[in-house]
Structures are given as structure tokens and as C-alpha cells.
Chains A and B, each alone.
Chain A
């Protein structure tokens, strides 16, 4: 069965640099620097990356960051909590717009 997403495509990511190689180099250098330990540990950054992967629903990122989180010593429980953080914020982002709705209800209603 054909599918748009294939796990074997993930290792081909760097091939994007075959066109516009300077831009690709800038991106991958920046990417590497972002995930290097700074004020946050590599493990903390990987958990954030995992959460963002679920926010944007990128299957490539979910694959890569699941593996990275495990290799940085995160537990399934910690990783699941990170996904719940995503859910809480995404849900909350919709719910908080209900304040705008309520403001308008109040304006229009007697």
C-alpha cells in the first residue's frame, strides 16, 4: 500500500541540501547547536523536541525524538507527560478563545 510517509525517508533528510546547499548547511549547523547542552541539558531539550513534534504532528520528528529521548535516559512516563503538556496547551489555546466568545456574547446579549 502506498503511503506519503515512509520511515526509510528520515535518514535522507540531509539530501535536501543537494539544492541550495548553503541554506541547508546554515539550517543543520543551527539545528545541531540548538540541541547541544546549554542552560538546558540535552535530555531536557529532547523532551521539548518530542513535545513540539507532537504539536506539529510531524511523524519524522516523532520517530527521531522518541529514539533520542530514550537514548538520553527519559522514561516512557516522562515522555507521555510531555505529550500531555502538548495536549493541555493545544486544548487550552482553543478554550481560552472562548473568552473572546463570551465577551461578544455579553456585548450582543441583553
Chain B
């Protein structure tokens, strides 16, 4: 299968002229670095922007009024691509994937095509809509369930995700545990993703995981496999919040001053390919949010016979500082 050769990309630091920080591409250059693809092993599929929550940190501006949902034709093309290419991981995200009316079909068609299927969940979308049915679906296909939990503190969680979400999140986690997720020996993996509830960087991942493990077990008897911390990306609703709260400049400066050249090799865009609900390709979900196509060219999944070749340049912009800050975020 012939892989598609892609040209050198333009700098997508469109905020450069008004940005308080140096462009990410220039920072890479100063460190003698280029951000290029390695072997693409993960296909991340954004099934749509419909969501029951309106989280303040959302880079996609997902919410209850969004209508973008992957249709059957696009799903056929995505499945066709996943059949042509063997991905180590297929990662289903949104919006809230549970709100896609075709999620069952999506999972049933994709699960046989990969050794590891991941499904993202905000917990409340599952809890509000026949949760046991979703959990059965996930369990049947041994899907890794990756859920959002910014904090075990109700005030902080709800300041980010909305009133009433904390109780729904805890109930959903208990339900997942009852079905075997997160429990030793079941093979059912439950991972947490924690984004900070504000304009600050997250704590060190291992420390946060230790703390969450103790608090969730002691207070609610909840267990999980792994916790991943992730900084908030200055895009979408989060960027709007940064602007209205007067935090934008300081936050961008904080991200840029935390740039760590040692993490560039391990950035997820080097091994991940993102496909949107309409089938167009991106180097990551954040570039999808910004509308920056894969390597700067609008290419549909139906055109791809193989993943992009190693060495293909990745489109960058200033939000890339987020993933390259501190210890990096994967």
C-alpha cells in the first residue's frame, strides 16, 4: 500500500501577531527540533460534538445544541480505513459518545479491528441514559473506558463541569466498578483523565494518581487502573473563559515558559491520527478544534490507503505549548 506523501506545512501560529508568546514553531526551531510523525498506531475518532455538559475547559465547544454527528456513510469510510490499516488502538471520543444514536453500531464494527478499543465518557451522559446498557456494551467488547474526573472535590469538579455532575460521576464510577471495571483480575480497564479546574497546570501525574486512589477508595470505595493528568488547552470555550476572566495572557505565558524540549519526541500527535465526524483528518483533537487539517491539507479518510508516513511534518500552532509543558501530556 502506498502511503501518501505530504508536503512541508505552514506555520499555523495564526495568533502570532497578537500572541504574548513566541510561536511554537519558532520555539521548536530554536531548540533544533522538528515535530514529525513517527509510526501512526492510534486512530482517534471524534463521533460528534453533541454533549449533555457545557464544561468550561472544553476545547471543542461541545454541548447540547451541537448537531455535528458522524453519519453512516462516514462511519463506513472510517471502518474501511481501519480495515485497511491495522491500528494498535482505536479511541472513540466526542462530545459525549454515548449521545451518538449509532454508538452501539460504531463500537460493534470497530472493536474487531483493533486489539485495544478505548471509549471516552464524561460519566454523566452514561448515567443519564440507561447506563447498564452502555456498560454491557463496553464490557462485551472489552473496551477501555476513559472517564473525565477533574477532582475528587465536589466544588472544584462542578465549577468546571456543572451543578449536579459530581453525584452523577460518583454513581457512574460505582456502577462501572460493580461491573468489574477497574477491579483487579477482570481485564476491564478503567482510566481517569483529570484536567485542572482553572487557569493553572495540573499536578505531577504520579502524585495525582496516588492522591486520587486514596481519596476515591476511602470516601466512596471506588477503584480505577490509571490516572492521566492533562493541562487545559487554550481553545474553544476554555479560551473564551480565559479571555473573560482576564487569565489568557498569564496562562499562555505559563504554558510557553514550561516548554520542555525533552517531551517533544513523545507527543501523542506523533503516533495518533484524528478523524472528525465528517471524515476529515487532523494530527490531533486540538488541531481538529482549531480547524487545522492534518499536515495543513484537507484530506478525507476515504482518500487514505495507509497512515501518513513517518517523517511527515505535523501542523503546529500556539496551543501545542499545552502538550509540551512540564513533563508533557499524553
Contacts and interface: CB of A to CB of B under 8 A. Distances in A.
B245 interface: no
12 contacts: A70-B196, A71-B201, A71-B203, A72-B203, A72-B207, A73-B151, A73-B202, A73-B207, A75-B151, A75-B153, A75-B155, A75-B156
A70 B197 CA distance: 9
B208 interface: yes
A102 B198 CA distance: 50
A43 B203 contact: yes
B39 to A, nearest CB: 34
Contacts of A73: 151, 202-203, 207-208, 211
A14 B71 CA distance: 57
Interface in A63-105: 67, 70-73, 75-77
A44 to B, nearest CB: 11
Interface residues of A, number: 11
> Considering residues A41, A67, A71, A73, which has the most beta carbons from chain B within 10 angstroms of its beta carbon?
A73
A71 B250 CA distance: 14
A100 B161 CA distance: 54
Contact of B202 (A41, A43, A71, A75): A71
B144 to A, nearest CB: 24
A72 B198 CA distance: 13
Contacts of A77: 153, 155
B108 to A, nearest CB: 39
A76 B204 CA distance: 18
B200 interface: yes
A70 B202 CA distance: 8
A42 B200 contact: no
Nearest to A66: B200
